[in-house]
Chain A
Amino acid sequence: GEDVEQSLFLSVREGDSSVINCTYTDSSSTYLYWYKQEPGAGLQLLTYIFSNMDMKQDQRLTVLLNKKDKHLSLRIADTQTGDSAIYFCAEIGVNRDDKIIFGKGTRLHILP
């Protein structure tokens, strides 16, 4: 099975909250990331969380980590048209020689 899984598509109305979910399998994960793919600019780091944390908030972004269930989520409050992008979940773990492992990306579509 996939090491990092995410749903491929999410549609949200402008102004609502978006929640993008991710599951991973590596119990040795140390860092977990959310990257945003900007056309023409590649992947840009959006936020990250250490595996010993449960939650991290940064302005409109909230990252929740359930280490027991190996579940990571990204909540974007007050979703705006500029949030339309592909979001990649990624993790790094000592069992994987410290290489970042990516999910396939979730395409977030904003409805008017």
Chain B
Amino acid sequence: DTAVSQTPKYLVTQMGNDKSIKCEQNLGHDTMYWYKQDSKKFLKIMFSYNNKELIINETVPNRFSPKSPDKAHLNLHINSLELGDSAVYFCASSQGLAGEQYFGPGTRLTVT
């Protein structure tokens, strides 16, 4: 069984659209994260959620919003997509903020 899964793996969409990327973990973890692999190929954290509370919100545009319907899911919603949003987005989970993180396979978002 996949520990952390993301859907879709690839997403191609047009500027101005609203889209969501789903993340699910079956590890029973209480903390989940979203990262962006930027154009320079580095990973930067966007959000983390612990017990349904937002812990970290880096300098991310408010067009991005994480939504956690339950402890096993943290979905990433993006409104009014822009070309610069094209990137690979990774979901991760951990038990507590100090537990080792387990990563999903990544979702490649392409905005045209």
Residues on A close to B: CB < 8 A? 30-31, 33, 35, 37, 39-45, 48, 86, 88, 90, 92, 97-100, 102, 104-105, 107
Contacts and interface: CB of A to CB of B under 8 A. Distances in A.
B25 interface: no
B97 A43 contact: no
Please list the 4 inter-chain residue pairs (A to B) with the smallest Cβ-Cβ separation, ordered nearest first.
A42-B45, A39-B98, A39-B97, A105-B100
Q: Is the interface of B mostly helix, strand, loop or mixed?
A: strand
B37 interface: yes
B97 A40 contact: yes
Given A37-B101, A42-B33, A105-B101, A100 B41 contact: yes
Interface of B: 33, 35, 37, 41-43, 45, 48, 55-56, 88, 90, 96-98, 100-103, 105-106, 108
B4 to A, nearest CB: 11
A59 B41 CA distance: 23
A31 B55 contact: no
Contacts of B37: 99-100
Contacts of A97: 108
A100 B101 CA distance: 14
Contacts of B103: 102
B97 A100 contact: no
10 contacts: A30-B41, A39-B97, A40-B48, A41-B45, A42-B56, A43-B35, A43-B43, A45-B43, A99-B106, A100-B88
A46 B42 CA distance: 11
Contacts of B42: 33, 45, 48
A37 to B, nearest CB: 6
A98 B41 contact: yes
